[in-house]
Chains A and B, each alone.
Chain A
Amino acid sequence: GESVGLHLPTLSVQEGDNSIINCAYSNSASDYFIWYKQESGKGPQFIIDIRSNMDKRQGQRVTVLLNKTVKHLSLQIAATQPGDSAVYFCAENANFGNEKLTFGTGTRLTIIP
């Protein structure tokens, strides 16, 4: 079946540097993409989302890039802080607001002080 996968399972970044987390998806019908942050023992926390009619969206210190040609999604975190240490998941569906999400495996981001 269709799946969403990540390129790297772990990533260590020096505090203050920028980080980039990548995600590949295989469902060409995917229309809605989300990045979640999950801290230990907690539920996924929404970070940023993007629809397929966009290729870039910015939030506070975060930017999501979508390349539909190669089915690739990335999350950029600027000026990383210790509180950014967590597991980051990409997720997608083809029908925003009315359909299950398909999650990737996750990338563990560790910020080195």
Chain B
Amino acid sequence: NAGVMQNPRHLVRRRGQEARLRCSPMKGHSHVYWYRQLPEEGLKFMVYLQKENIIDESGMPKERFSAEFPKEGPSILRIQQVVRGDSAAYFCATQRQNTEAFFGQGTRLTVV
């Protein structure tokens, strides 16, 4: 049973470009959480999705950031018009209802 898969592992974007980060849940997991981590800091919650629905987006910046978890395919975190401050590690975690969450290895976004 494969773990949570995130790709790409590393992503470099120029300021103003778009970044797309993908998260493929473990088999049977219908809940996806996205977190952001700055160097030497803890993980900060961004958004919680279940299939085709956003459950909690209280941690998402109001502009430029969006997330989806379609019926088929991976969850996507999309950052439009990236700025240097978006540089961070982005992790997703997935779970079945009422079970523990498992994290992926993250995508490290660098904006140059």
- Chain A residues with CB under 8 Å of chain B are 34, 36, 41-46, 49, 89, 91, 96-106
Contact = CB atoms under 8 A, between A and B. Distances in A.
Contacts of B111: none
B65 interface: no
A46 B33 contact: no
B45 A101 contact: yes
A97 B98 contact: yes
Contacts of A101: 33, 43, 45, 93, 101
Interface in B46-97: 48, 56, 59, 91, 93, 95-97
A49 B100 contact: yes
B25 interface: no
Contacts of B41: 105-106
Interface string B1-41: 00010100000000000000000000000010101000011
Judged by DSSP, the binding face of A is loop
B42 A89 contact: yes
B43 A97 contact: no
17 contacts: A42-B106, A43-B6, A43-B106, A44-B93, A46-B100, A46-B102, A91-B43, A97-B31, A97-B95, A97-B99, A99-B48, A100-B48, A100-B59, A101-B33, A101-B45, A102-B45, A105-B41
Contact of B33 (A43, A100, A105): A100
A96 B96 CA distance: 11
Nearest to A103: B42
Contact of A44 (B56, B59, B91, B96): B91
Given A101-B33, A105-B41, 6 more contacts: A42-B105, A45-B103, A98-B31, A99-B48, A100-B59, A105-B42
Given A43-B106, A44-B91, A100 B45 contact: yes
B43 A98 contact: no
A96 B99 CA distance: 7
